[in-house]
Amino acid sequence: MEGPGRRRWVLVVGVVAVALVGAIAAIAAMQVNKPIQSNSSTSSTIGAGSSGGPAPGSGGARSTVPGRPTSSVATGAPSGTAGQASPGTFEIAPPQLVSTEKVCQLTGEYDKQTSPPSPTVNQTATNWGLVGTDNGFSFEYGGRLWFLFGDSSPTPKFRHRDNTQNVPLRNPGDNDSIAYSSDTAVDGCVHLAFIPDAIGAFARPNVLTQPGQAPVTLRTNEVPEAGISEGGNMYVVFGTDNFASNPPGGSGQPNGGPTRSVVGVALNGAQDAQFRYLYDLSTRPNGKFTFVTLANDIAGYVDFWGADAGGSSYRHSPAYFARKPADELGQPGGLQYFSGTDASGLPEFSSSEAGAKPIVSDAPADCIGEMSVQWNAYLGRWIMLYNCADDTPRNPRGIYMRLASAPWGPWSQPTTIFSTKAGLCAFIHRAVRPGQPACDQLSAPNRSDIQGGDYAPYMIGRFTTGTRATSTAPASTTIYYTMSTWNPYQVVIMATTVQG
Q: How far is residue 296's CA from residue 69's CA, in Å, rounded to a whole number?
A: 9
Residue 16 predicted with pLDDT over 60: no
CA distances from 91 to 86, 304, 360, 411 (A): 11, 23, 14, 8
User: What pLDDT shows up at residue 5?
Assistant: 38
Pick the closest to residue 202 from 105, 103, 108 (CA basis). Answer: 108
Looking at the chain, the number of H-run helices and the number of E-run strands are: 3, 33
DSSP 351-367: SSGGG---SB--SSS--
Pick the closest to residue 311 from 362, 259, 238 (CA basis). Answer: 259
- Residue of 165 and 92 predicted with greater confidence: 92
Q: Is residue 306 part of a domain?
A: yes
Q: Is residue 3 part of a domain?
A: no
Residue 52 predicted with pLDDT over 50: no
User: What pLDDT shows up at residue 36?
Assistant: 52
Q: Is residue 269 part of a domain?
A: yes
- Residue of 19 and 351 predicted with greater confidence: 351
Residues 12/50, Cβ–Cβ less than 8 Å: yes
Q: Is residue 90 part of a domain?
A: yes
Residue 464 predicted with pLDDT over 70: yes
Q: Is residue 178 part of a domain?
A: yes
User: What pLDDT shows up at residue 58?
Assistant: 33
User: What pLDDT shows up at residue 312?
Assistant: 80
**Mean pLDDT computed over every residue of the chain:** 85
Beta bridge mates, 239: 261
- Cα atoms in the 13 Å half-sphere on the side-chain side of 404: 22
Confidence bin at 167 (pLDDT 50/70/90): confident
pLDDT in tens, 381-420: 999 999 999 999 999 999 999 999 999 999 999 999 999 9
Q: How far is residue 90's CA from residue 88's CA, in Å, rounded to a whole number?
A: 6
Per mean pLDDT, which range of 14-18, 460-464, 490-494 is the poorest?
Answer: 14-18
Q: Is residue 1 part of a domain?
A: no
Q: How far is residue 182's CA from residue 43's CA, in Å, rounded to a whole number?
A: 38
Once rounded to an integer, what is the mean pLDDT over residues 285-301? Answer: 94
First to last CA, the chain: 29
H or E element that contains 486 = none
Residue 426 predicted with pLDDT over 70: yes
User: What pLDDT shows up at residue 287?
Assistant: 95
Pick the closest to residue 234 from 202, 269, 203, 197 (CA basis). Answer: 269
The CA dihedral of 146, 157, 204, 124, to the nearest 10 degrees, is 10
Which residues are CB-neighbours of 228 under 8 A, at least 6 positions away? Answer: 72, 73, 139, 234, 235, 294, 295, 296, 302, 329
pLDDT in tens, 132-160: 999 999 999 999 999 999 999 999 999 99
Percentage with pLDDT > 70 across the chain:
81
Q: How far is residue 286's CA from residue 151's CA, in Å, rounded to a whole number?
A: 26
Beta bridge mates, 296: 302
Once rounded to an integer, what is the mean pLDDT over residues 281-308? Answer: 95
Task: Compute φ and ψ for 391, nearest 5 degrees.
Answer: -135, 95
Per mean pLDDT, which range of 53-57, 182-186, 310-314, 354-358 is the poorest?
Answer: 53-57
**Structural domain of residue 245, as residue ranges?**
9-499
Q: How far is residue 127's CA from residue 119's CA, in Å, rounded to a whole number?
A: 12
User: What pLDDT shows up at residue 388?
Assistant: 98
Once rounded to an integer, what is the mean pLDDT over residues 64-70? Answer: 32
Q: Burial-class residue 362 by CB neighbours within 10 Å (0-12, 13-18, 19+).
A: buried
Beta bridge mates, 193: 180
Q: Is residue 374 part of a domain?
A: yes
How many domains are there within the chain? 1
Per mean pLDDT, which range of 104-118, 152-166, 187-201, 249-263 is the poorest?
Answer: 249-263
Q: Is residue 451 part of a domain?
A: yes
User: What pLDDT shows up at residue 170?
Assistant: 87
- Residue of 482 and 166 predicted with greater confidence: 482
Confidence bin at 249 (pLDDT 50/70/90): low
pLDDT in tens, 82-121: 333 334 445 799 999 999 999 999 999 999 999 999 999 9
Percentage with pLDDT > 90 across the chain:
74
Residues 157/199, Cβ–Cβ less than 8 Å: no
How many residues belong to the chain? 500
Once rounded to an integer, what is the mean pLDDT over residues 17-38? Answer: 40
Residues 96/476, Cβ–Cβ less than 8 Å: no
